[in-house]
């Protein structure tokens, strides 16, 4: 079982650069009704985009897209 004393001992081991994040987590657990300002907001459109990528990734594996030959272009006058 985890006790407050054990948690306090582990908190003392946390690097200073993570103290703001740790404080945000603790305050979010103490008062869950208030939003944490450091929590990134997930954009619905980007979430839909990621879902689309997950569903379609590898769908052309059986017929990969290939670039054709460059072809020949007409020679034009030089621009001076």
CA distance 46 to 40: 13
pTM for the complete prediction?
Answer: 0.38
* Cβ(38)–Cβ(20) below 8 Å: yes
Q: How many CA within 13 A on the CB side of residue 37?
A: 1
- Of 38, 42, 44, give the one whose Cα is nearest residue 26: 38
Work out the percent of the chain whose per-residue pLDDT is above 90. Answer: 9
CA distance 40 to 35: 11
Grade residue 9 by pLDDT with cuts at 50, 70 and 90. very high
Does 51 have pLDDT greater than 60? yes
Does 59 have pLDDT greater than 80? yes
Residue-range domain boundaries for the chain: 1-38
Grade residue 12 by pLDDT with cuts at 50, 70 and 90. very high
């Amino acid at each position: 079982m985890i006790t407050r004393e054990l948690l306090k001992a582990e908190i003392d081991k946390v690097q200073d650069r993570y103290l703001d994040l740790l404080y945000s987590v603790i305050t979010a657990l103490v008062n869950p009704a208030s939003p944490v300002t450091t929590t990134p907001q997930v954009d619905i459109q980007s979430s839909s985009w990621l879902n689309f990528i997950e569903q379609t990734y590898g769908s052309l594996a059986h017929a990969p897209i290939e670039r054709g030959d460059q072809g020949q272009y007409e020679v034009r006058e030089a621009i001076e």
